[in-house]
């Protein structure tokens, strides 16, 4: 099953626009696990178990595993999600951006080693930095467009010679000439609702991965109002607000409670069908 179909089915089945980001930081683990990088898999697996029926996707961030020499635990986690939540797509948040044989190896890492359903990519080396990933049938490629950090404006908000902002140019390419087999999506931050609405205008049917709700301060209602369309999927990510909702033995149930509340807020923000 390809990424777009998995996403649509998980969104409908779980009545959810919420993606839980898996960003394990051992210094924030609960109780006796605190500081123990050997517990990364177990911590994330508990979060998966607690939230797998209220999300449309999971998004592990590769740096949180690699930084602790825990790539083997990431492999184990990806296999665990496929086994226990096979209907939920997994987006590997890697933000790779290179060309040629190096890009081919990054694609192999994402789709063969980790068996992700989609991967985040930096498009700023052009289409040939994306093309190697298209060899993997059905996999989603989600391109950085207007990111949630303030510093993104240093480049993404710059005006080009044709009058477009750089992020607008990326959105136009992703929605047209680059989207040769309809597998591209865009990363657009919840912290910039006006730009989010503009991207949705330029790319009305592309999946939008939207970080920034929760700990980064993005507003759930404003996000859905700007981006949700019947035929335009949105994947609203929350990481730290869910993962570290509790610091005791009940951390998983606390994570579930926050995930459920966020899911409900997102659903309530959808416009009522006429």
Between helix 193-202 and helix 220-227 the angle, nearest 10°, is 20
Among candidate residues 18, 36, 20, the one with its CA nearest the CA of residue 255: 20
Q: What is the pLDDT of residues 211-259, one digit of tens each?
A: 977 656 667 788 898 898 888 999 999 999 999 999 899 999 999 999 9
How much is the pLDDT for 216? 62
CATH superfamily of 3-269: Aldolase class I (3.20.20.70)
The residue behind tokens 């335009």 is 232
How much is the pLDDT for 149? 86
Alpha carbon distance 31, 47 (integer Å): 15
- Average pLDDT value for residue range 102-109: 98
Among candidate residues 7, 28, 2, 1, the one with its CA nearest the CA of residue 232: 7
Alpha carbon distance 148, 168 (integer Å): 15
Pair 129, 121: CB distance under 8 Å: yes
Predicted confidence (pLDDT) at residue 272 exceeds the cutoff of 70: no
Q: What is the pLDDT of residues 161-212, one digit of tens each?
A: 999 999 999 999 999 999 988 999 999 998 888 999 999 999 999 999 999 7
How much is the pLDDT for 17? 96
Would the CA dihedral through 64, 70, 71, 76 be positive or negative?
A: negative
Q: What is the pLDDT of residues 47-64, one digit of tens each?
A: 999 999 999 999 999 999
Domain boundaries, the chain: 3-269
CA of 207: how far to CAs of 17, 189, 226, 251, in Å?
11, 13, 13, 31
Alpha carbon distance 187, 117 (integer Å): 16
How much is the pLDDT for 192? 87
How much is the pLDDT for 264? 94
Alpha carbon distance 203, 221 (integer Å): 20
Q: What is the pLDDT of residues 6-36, one digit of tens each?
A: 999 999 999 999 999 999 999 999 999 999 9
Q: What is the pLDDT of residues 115-151, one digit of tens each?
A: 999 999 999 999 999 999 999 999 999 999 999 888 9
From 95, 139, 165, 172, the catalytic residue: 95
Residue 139 appears among annotated catalytic residues:
no
């Amino acid at each position: 099953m390809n990424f777009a179909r998995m996403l649509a089915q998980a969104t409908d089945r779980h009545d959810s626009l919420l993606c839980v980001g898996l960003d394990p930081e051992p210094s924030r683990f609960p109780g006796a696990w605190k500081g123990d990088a050997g517990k990364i898999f177990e911590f994330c697996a508990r979060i998966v178990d607690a939230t797998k029926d209220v999300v449309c996707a999971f998004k592990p961030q590769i740096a949180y595993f690699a930084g602790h020499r825990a790539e083997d635990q990431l492999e184990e986690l990806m296999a665990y999600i496929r086994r226990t939540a096979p209907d939920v797509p997994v987006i590997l948040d890697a933000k790779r951006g290179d060309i040629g044989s190096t890009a081919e190896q990054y694609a192999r890492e994402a789709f063969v080693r980790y068996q992700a359903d989609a991967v985040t990519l930096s498009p700023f080396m052009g289409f040939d930095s994306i093309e190697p990933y298209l060899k993997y049938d059905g996999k989603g490629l989600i391109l950085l467009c207007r990111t949630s950090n303030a510093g993104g404006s240093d480049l993404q908000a710059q005006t080009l010679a044709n009058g477009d902002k750089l992020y607008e140019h990326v959105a136009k390419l992703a929605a047209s000439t680059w989207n040769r087999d309809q597998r591209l999506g865009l990363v657009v931050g919840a912290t910039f609702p006006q730009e989010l609405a503009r991207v949705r205008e330029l790319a009305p049917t592309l999946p939008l991965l939207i970080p920034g709700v929760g700990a980064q301060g993005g507003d759930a209602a404003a996000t859905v109002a700007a981006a949700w369309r019947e035929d335009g999927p949105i994947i609203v990510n929350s990481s730290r607000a869910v993962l570290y909702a509790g610091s005791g033995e009940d951390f998983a149930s606390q994570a579930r409670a926050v995930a459920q509340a966020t899911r409900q807020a997102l659903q309530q923000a959808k416009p009522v069908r006429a």
